[in-house]
Amino acid sequence: MPEKDLRVELLSLTPNALELIFAAFRQCYHAGFVADMWPKLLSGEIDKDKQDQFVSKILESGHDSPIEHVSFTFAIEGISRACSHQIVRHRIASYSQQSQRYVAESDMDYIIPPAIKKIPEARARFEKFMDEVGSAYNDLREILVAAGRESKANEDARFVLPQAAETKMVVTMNCRSLMHFFNLRCCQRAQWEVRIMADKMLKICKEEFPAIFRHGGARCEQLGYCPESERFACGRYPTLKELTENK
């Protein structure tokens, strides 16, 4: 039952992403049919820098629905079930997660919170409990198999598994959903594990598609102030109340 490290890999990005979003934006403001423009976009007749500038300018106006036409697909491993429960709350996305019903957890990997890891006594107790869970899981599976529930042993024994259990998943989100995801999950108030994962995803998005994600991240970075109340603000940016009171 070893500790598992986080890994985020990009599996797929919609082909011709910049051209597609440029075409979608142009159709909103163009009298003609963008399908006639498409061959020019693919051939490079319309400069990519001009496409980038046009898309950025429209995004600054607050018009962002056309970026939904482009999606990213990530493979993620080394996150806890506690983290995956947070991720799947983002509804405009597609998820495929490793099943504890069909995949045996006989040698369960797990995630240790940093606050526990840095305290030797806490880490020792945590790891001892993980060993106890693993032992209970394997004992239950053996008992269930012996009782004739071999095909169902995993799905019943899994009830003792903790939220620390490591999981793997494939996640697909369109750019608009990703921007919202980063607004919330890159915030300092987000839970540490999902924030680290979101930061890794954002780094990939910025490298692959800077036209959209160069300003991605916590909401405060785009607004220039913290949208939280004074009670919840981390202090990195002034709150809106502080800004208005200082004017």
Q: Which positions are catalytic?
A: 185
Q: What is the CA radius of gyration of the chain?
A: 23
Using an 8 Å Cβ cutoff, are 217 and 202 in contact?
A: yes
Query: What is the C-alpha end-to-end distance of the chain, expressed in Å?
Result: 57
CB atoms within 10 A of CB 162: 15
- Tallying the residues shown for the chain, one arrives at 247
d(CA 221, CA 232): 16
> Taking CA 129 as the corner, what is the angle to CA 125 and CA 135, rounded to the nearest 5 degrees?
150
> Taking CA 197 as the corner, what is the angle to CA 191 and CA 100, rounded to the nearest 5 degrees?
90
Q: Give SS3 for 65.
A: helix
Using an 8 Å Cβ cutoff, are 135 and 107 in contact?
A: no
Q: What secondary structure does DSSP assign to 207-229, as a single string?
A: HH-HHHHTT-S-HHHHHSSB-S-
Both structure tokens of 170: 């494939």
- Counting DSSP H helices and E strands in the chain, the numbers are 12, 4
Both structure tokens of 239: 């709150």
Q: Give SS3 for 58.
A: helix
